[in-house]
Each structure stands twice: as structure tokens, then as C-alpha cells.
Amino acid sequence: MENKEFTFKGFVMNGFLALLLLLAMYGWIVFSGVNGVALWSIPIVAVVSLVWLGGYMMLEPNEARAMLFFGKYCGTFYKNGFWWVNPFLTAKKVSLRARNLNAEPIKVNDKAGNPIMIGLVLVWRVKDVYKALFEIDSQTMASSKSSAGVVSASVARMNAFETFVSVQSDAALRQVAGGFNYDNNDSNDAEAITLRSGADEINELLVAKLNERLSIAGIEVTEARINYLAYAPEIAAVMLRRQQADAIISAREKIVEGAVSMVSMALDKLSAEEIVELDEEKKAAMVSNLLVVLCADESAQPVVNTGTLNH
């Protein structure tokens, strides 16, 4: 999209100098009235001084004003400080400071169709004043917000931008979340990126999607992160049991692997040190007993065999 924004090039005067000129006008009015000199100039100077008052403008750091002359865009003013410009210009104030948006968790379906709750937090700021004011209908939204209560036009304008960011962030989050599984339980590829495991990749993709959607409004997202992720309440209990079952299976695999290793080590040790000679039947019984003891959930009860190992 063509960049239509440019820096204001019109006449600008230091605000304090303009204030001295205004005081000079008031002094001339008083002097003329007292001394009866050029009385005809008093109404002219009075009107000029009243119009002159409309030209003062003050900008703080990270603020800008879009300058309009009877509806025509004349550029964006960025200079910080106290200034005086043509009083017939309209200056629309826009803040360029970074802002947070903590979006409430929404319900979406992941790639596998599972309903999940997901939320995000992002940092955004206005990058292009022209687009923010004139490419989207922020003026109408700001007017409705300011008329609904005692809210200044600039505050209502920024609230309108925040509403636009909120709606677009909802759409971008749904698009990103729908392209990935919640976890890799439903995927044959254990290395696949998921919403749980691929936080960095998901956040980078989310920033790209948000900037793509918000570029029309001249708004830039500098950071976006998923700050809430959970299964939807209707399937949360089932998925919790599933996760518990997966954890139990994984733990059992570790236990069995360790038990087999210990039994093999015990048999090798008995054979190497010739502590006792075991035939295949006795080895099988010993392996069975050791596996039961090592893999059991409860402590085994010892049984003392006072017989002989030989028939």
C-alpha cells in the first residue's frame, strides 16, 4: 500500500515568541484605548488576537499531530515543544507510545478439532499516523466514544485504535491456533510444533499475522505472546485423565526398563562370582520374582526358603 504520510512543512513559530506577539497586541489595544490613538485598529487587533489564540500547540515526546486545512491533509507534525502554527489548521493528536493489550481467553478449535481456551498479550503502537486516522473509520468510532461520556477526542481516538487491535488480534489468534495441535498426542510426528511445545515459533507467527492484519491501520505489533492455554471445560477432565494415563505408561516403561537391567545384572553377578548355580528353571523363577518385586506398586513380602536348591 502506498505510503501517504509525510512530515508537515508549513509555517511554524516558536510558541513563546508567538506569546510575546500576542501580548504586544493586547498592549496596543490598551495603549490605543487610553491615548485615543488609532481607535479604528482596536477591533481589528482584537479579532486578530482572538484568532491568534487558536494557533498554539504543544507536543510531548512520542506524540504527533495530523495537520488538516479544511479537510485537506497537510502532513504530520512531530516536533516536541511549544509551537504556533496557522490557526486555521486542525491538529488531530495521536499518541505514538507503546500500549499493552491483554486479550481475554477465547474458545477455539485446534488442528485436531479439540476445543481449547487460549489468550494472548501484545504490545502495539501507532506507526503511521495517516493510515491510523484516515484508512480506517477511527474518526466515527472516536466520535461515538467521546459523545457517550466525558472523554477527550484524543483519548477516544486511542480507544478506537485499541478496539480495532482487539478485534484483529482475536481473528489472528483464531487463525494461528487452528493451524496447530494443542499437543502431539494426536500426531504421528513427535517433533511437530504444538501450541504447548512451540512457544517461540507460535509467538513469532502470531506477531507476523497481527502485523499483516494491522498494517492497513498503520499499527505495529512489537511483541505478542500466548499467556493462557488450556483445554475447554467440557473436555478438560477427559484430557486430564488422558495425560495421567500417558504419564503412568511412561513411568511404567522406565520402571520395566530398569527392572530388566537390574535382573540381568544380578544374574551376571551370580554367575561371574559363582555364588550359586542355577538351572534354567531356577533362573526363570528368579527373574519372575525379581520383576514382581521391582515392578510392583506395593512392597513385597519376603518368604524365607529353608530348603535346598538341588532336587
How confident is the model over 102-132, as pLDDT tens digits? 988 999 988 888 888 999 999 999 999 999 9
**164 burial via Cβ count (<10 Å: 0-12, 13-18, 19+):** buried
Contact 129, 94 (CB under 8 A): yes
Say if residue 217 is in the same domain as residue 274: no
Reported as a pLDDT band with limits 50, 70 and 90, residue 311 is very low
Domain end, chosen from 95, 119, 141, is at 95
DSSP character at residue 180: S
Is the per-residue pLDDT at 205 higher than 50?
A: yes
Residue 46 belongs to some domain of the structure = yes
Say if residue 196 is in the same domain as residue 178: yes
Say if residue 109 is in the same domain as residue 220: yes
187 against 66, higher pLDDT: 66
Say if residue 90 is in the same domain as residue 107: no
Contact 30, 49 (CB under 8 A): no
Residue 253 belongs to some domain of the structure = yes
pLDDT for 3: 77
Reported as a pLDDT band with limits 50, 70 and 90, residue 188 is low
Is the per-residue pLDDT at 302 higher than 90?
A: no
| Nearest Cα to Cα of residue 216 among 154, 142, 165 | 165
Is the per-residue pLDDT at 252 higher than 60?
A: yes
Domain end, chosen from 231, 259, 279, is at 231
Residue 302 belongs to some domain of the structure = no
Using CA atoms, how far apart are residues 178 and 166, in angstroms rounded to an integer?
18
Q: What is the pLDDT of residues 59-90, one digit of tens each?
A: 999 999 999 999 999 999 999 999 999 999 99
Q: What is the pLDDT of residues 40-50, one digit of tens each?
A: 889 999 999 99
Is the per-residue pLDDT at 91 higher than 80?
A: yes
Residue 86 belongs to some domain of the structure = yes
Residue 290 belongs to some domain of the structure = yes
Say if residue 111 is in the same domain as residue 220: yes
Say if residue 141 is in the same domain as residue 227: yes
For residue 254, give its domain range. Answer: 241-295
Residue 3 belongs to some domain of the structure = no
Please, what is the Cα angle at 76 between 55 and 65, to 5 degrees? 55
For residue 128, the domain's CATH number is: 3.30.479.30
Q: What's the pTM?
A: 0.72
Say if residue 157 is in the same domain as residue 173: yes
Say if residue 146 is in the same domain as residue 82: no
Using CA atoms, how far apart are residues 32 and 25, in angstroms rounded to an integer?
11
Contact 295, 263 (CB under 8 A): no
Q: What is the pLDDT of residues 263-296, one digit of tens each?
A: 777 777 767 766 666 666 766 776 776 666 666 6
Is the per-residue pLDDT at 240 higher than 90?
A: no
Say if residue 146 is in the same domain as residue 195: yes
| Nearest Cα to Cα of residue 242 among 119, 114, 106, 118 | 114
Reported as a pLDDT band with limits 50, 70 and 90, residue 189 is low
Q: Position of cell 494491522?
A: 214
Residue 300 belongs to some domain of the structure = no
Number of domains in the chain: 3
Give CB contacts under 8 A, 24+ apart, made by 1-4. Answer: 1/131, 1/215, 1/216, 3/128, 4/73, 4/130, 4/131, 4/134
Residue 197 belongs to some domain of the structure = yes
pLDDT for 141: 64
DSSP character at residue 238: H
Is the per-residue pLDDT at 170 higher than 90?
A: yes
Reported as a pLDDT band with limits 50, 70 and 90, residue 148 is low
pLDDT for 214: 94
Domain end, chosen from 95, 112, 140, is at 95
